């Protein structure tokens, strides 16, 4: 009699755990939306430049309700001028957004300056709130560099159509 009660309690406990975990395990962070941004500062405005390249994304994107979408921006810069030089101001911006009744957006800004003889790279990312409807997520990558009156910029975007079961 005692064995039957213990077995019953264990079975009920396992059944509850499976139902609870099914809801928890289902939500995930899903990677989608990658691009590279680069900025090069030279002694001449004519050869200073900014670009967005290697854009990769999936659309339609199959998700489960509650999943979050994680997007990336790999940025790099090079200031080939001899230091010290006039200040170069860089700005890299990654944004994911969707519109329901209002627009929801998630932003990551990376701003800094150089004064010649500098280079580097960084990875930026943004994550949406849990997706609960079939939104179109717009991912935007922007880059710019300013040296005095020389302004160079580039941007690109992708629309990800969300597909829920």
pLDDT at 128: 97
Instruction: Identify whether 14 is part of a domain.
Output: no
pLDDT at 11: 45
Instruction: Identify whether 17 is part of a domain.
Output: no
Residue 101 structural domain:
27-163
Give the C-alpha separation, 64 to 61, whole Å.
10
Give the C-alpha separation, 35 to 54, whole Å.
5
Instruction: Identify whether 43 is part of a domain.
Output: yes
What per-residue string of b and e applies to 46-74 under the rule 16 or more CB within 10 Å gives b? Answer: eebebebeeeebeeebebeeebbbbbbbb
Residue with tokens 């009156």: 149
| CATH number, domain with residue 157 | 2.60.40.3880
- Please give the tally of structural domains in the chain: 1
Instruction: Identify whether 52 is part of a domain.
Output: yes
Instruction: Identify whether 36 is part of a domain.
Output: yes
Which tens digits make up the pLDDT trace of 99-151?
888 899 999 999 999 999 999 999 999 999 999 999 999 999 999 999 999 99
Q: Are 117 and 81 within 8 A, CB to CB?
A: yes
Instruction: Identify whether 108 is part of a domain.
Output: yes
Is the per-residue pLDDT at 93 higher than 80?
A: yes
What does residue 22 show for φ and ψ, rounded to 5 degrees? -60, -40
Q: Are 163 and 63 within 8 A, CB to CB?
A: yes
- As a residue count, the chain comes to 165
Residue with tokens 């090069």: 40
Instruction: Identify whether 54 is part of a domain.
Output: yes
pLDDT at 101: 81
Which tens digits make up the pLDDT trace of 32-78?
999 999 999 999 999 999 999 999 999 999 999 999 999 999 999 99
pTM, two decimal places: 0.83
Instruction: Identify whether 13 is part of a domain.
Output: no
Q: Which of 117, 113, 125 is nearest to 34 (CA)?
A: 125
């Amino acid at each position: 009699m005692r064995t039957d009660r213990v077995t019953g309690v264990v079975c009920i406990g396992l059944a509850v755990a499976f139902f609870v975990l099914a809801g928890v395990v289902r939500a995930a962070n899903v990677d989608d939306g990658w691009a590279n941004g680069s900025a090069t500062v030279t002694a001449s405005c004519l050869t200073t430049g900014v670009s967005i390249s290697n854009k990769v994304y999936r659309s339609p994107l199959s998700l489960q309700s509650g999943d979050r979408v994680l997007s990336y921006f790999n940025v790099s810069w090079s200031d080939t001028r001899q230091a010290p030089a006039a200040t170069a101001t860089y700005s890299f911006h990654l944004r994911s957004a969707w519109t329901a009744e209002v627009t929801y957006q998630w932003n990551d800004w990376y701003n800094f300056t150089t004064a010649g003889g500098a280079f580097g790279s960084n990875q930026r990312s943004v994550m949406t709130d849990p997706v609960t409807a079939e939104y179109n997520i717009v991912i935007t990558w922007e880059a710019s560099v300013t040296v005095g009156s020389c302004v160079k910029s580039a941007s690109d975007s992708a629309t990800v159509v969300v597909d829920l079961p």
